Amino acid sequence: MSKHPSPLVCYCGKVSRERIVKAIRAGATTLKKVQRATGAGIGDRCKELNPEGNCCIPDIVAILKEETGTKQAAACSCPHCKPK
């Protein structure tokens, strides 16, 4: 029985939703901790690599909320998310 790969959340770091969930369940309960544990959300090529041209930080924060029930601050440093 073949398992479908978990969808990518972070295209810059090629980090799947499953990897993020595993990190959260292992104790990475903040955005910074998820970033350190997985490498997700630290790239700056979102617009180029993500098919939708979106930054992954809001998606990571949403997964954190689903898994922990807590609201997280969504601070992104990628060029297209920074205020102009």
pLDDT in tens, 6-19: 799 999 999 999 99
State pLDDT tens for residues 49-82. 989 888 899 999 999 999 999 887 766 666 656 6
CATH number of the domain to which 44 belongs: 1.10.10.1100
State pLDDT tens for residues 20-38. 999 999 999 999 999 999 9
Is residue 80 domain-resident? no
Q: What global pTM score does this model have? A: 0.83
Q: Which domain holds residue 59?
A: 8-68
Is residue 81 domain-resident? no
Is residue 78 domain-resident? no
Structural domain count of the chain: 1
Is residue 27 domain-resident? yes
* Contacts of 28-33 spanning 24+ positions with Cβ under 8 A: 29/64, 29/68, 29/70, 30/64, 30/72, 31/57, 31/60, 31/61, 31/64, 31/72, 31/73, 31/74, 31/75
Is residue 64 domain-resident? yes
